[in-house]
Amino acid sequence: MKMNKISVLSTTVITIAAICLIIGCSKDNTLMKDANLANDNVTIAEDLLYSDLTVEELPDCNFEIISSVPLDEVEVEMLKYVREEEKMAHDVYYVLSGIYKKPIFNKIMESEQDHMDKVLCLMIHYNVEDPASDEIGEFTNDQIQELYDYLIDLGTKNIIDGLTAGAIIEDHDIKDLNDWMELTVKESIISVFTNIVCGSGNHIISFSDLLDGFGTEYSPIYITETEYQDILDAGSQFCGF
């Protein structure tokens, strides 16, 4: 499959990598473990960007945050980008779940919500402003908006294209997250991103299996053929915190 509208390597990642070279990415080796964020949500949110949220509105941050120096510019940008990237996946699956009666779209949509929440936990902890809109299909990042529009146009044509759109989402997600992880040493960020990559691997396996049932083979656009085959060969994995 060819997709000329979307570049194989995220231009955002390239731009941020350039920033990293200019300002220097923080490399802190003195890491300290904070108390479990799940027990500290309200304290973290007080007098900060999220002080207007109630306890019920805060995400379930049931994993340990590893705190070091404050985020640098690159890390702030990566959290904002990934937060919207996971929302993009959620929103595409939301639309497709209303068109096709395949449980996969609704099931993975719920998983993407969990991914969004985990990134939001990091943003709350580090006091990073959340760019995610409450509206379906609206994004502040132009590249993500363009990808969403493309995937909706593709995915709503028929079920095979819908499943292909899902595979593209997970393909794109894995590539971007792996690139971002090369630009940080923050253990908490790497842990969250690693778990999202794991989940995306499971998702792309599911889409691949369903496409096989229609006599269609997915060809990766972002990750390499070897990486894709390794994911398929490994099979579904347990992903969790």
> What is the structure's pLDDT at 207?
99
Question: Where residue 37 falls among pLDDT bands split at 50, 70, 90?
Answer: very low
Amino acid in the structure at residue 142? D
| Cα separation, 31 vs 107, whole angstroms | 36
Helix then strand count (H, E) for the chain reads 8, 2
Q: What is the pLDDT of residue 22?
A: 38
- CA proximity to 137, closest of 126, 125, 127, 149: 149
- Beta strand residue intervals within the chain, DSSP E: 32-33, 66-67
CA distance 113 to 89: 9
Euclidean distance between CA atoms 165 and 89, whole angstroms: 10
pLDDT digit string, tens, across residues 144-171: 999 999 999 999 999 999 999 999 999 9
The position carrying tokens 């006091």 is 127
Give the C-alpha separation, 113 to 123, whole Å. 15
Lowest mean pLDDT among 17-26, 31-40, 115-124, 163-172: 31-40
∠ CA 56-57-61, nearest 5°, is: 85
Eight-state DSSP code of residue 186: -
Q: Which residues contact 92 (CB under 8 A, 6 or more apart)?
A: 148, 151, 152, 155, 165, 166, 169
pLDDT digit string, tens, across residues 92-131: 999 999 999 899 999 999 999 999 999 999 999 899 999 9
Let me know: does 21 contact 182? Beta carbons within 8 Å.
no
Distance CA 99, CA 76 (A): 36
Residue with tokens 């989402």: 169
Q: How many residues does the chain have?
A: 241
CATH class of 11-234: mainly alpha
Least confident of 3-12, 26-35, 45-54, 111-120: 26-35
Per DSSP, the three-state class of 66 is: strand
Question: Given this model, what pLDDT does residue 68 score?
Answer: 61
Residue range 226-230: average pLDDT?
98
More confident residue, 42 or 137: 137
pLDDT over threshold 70, residue 85: yes
**Mean pLDDT of the residues in the chain:** 83
Percent of the chain with pLDDT over 70: 75
Q: What pLDDT was estimated at residue 55?
A: 59
Q: What is the pLDDT of residue 19?
A: 43
- Are 115 and 63 spatial neighbours (Cβ–Cβ below 8 Å)? no
Is 2 strand, coil or helix? Answer: coil
Distance CA 86, CA 104 (A): 16
Contact 176, 193 (CB under 8 A): no
Backbone angles phi, psi at 32, to 5 degrees: -125, 140
The predicted model scores a pTM of: 0.80
pLDDT at 46: 42
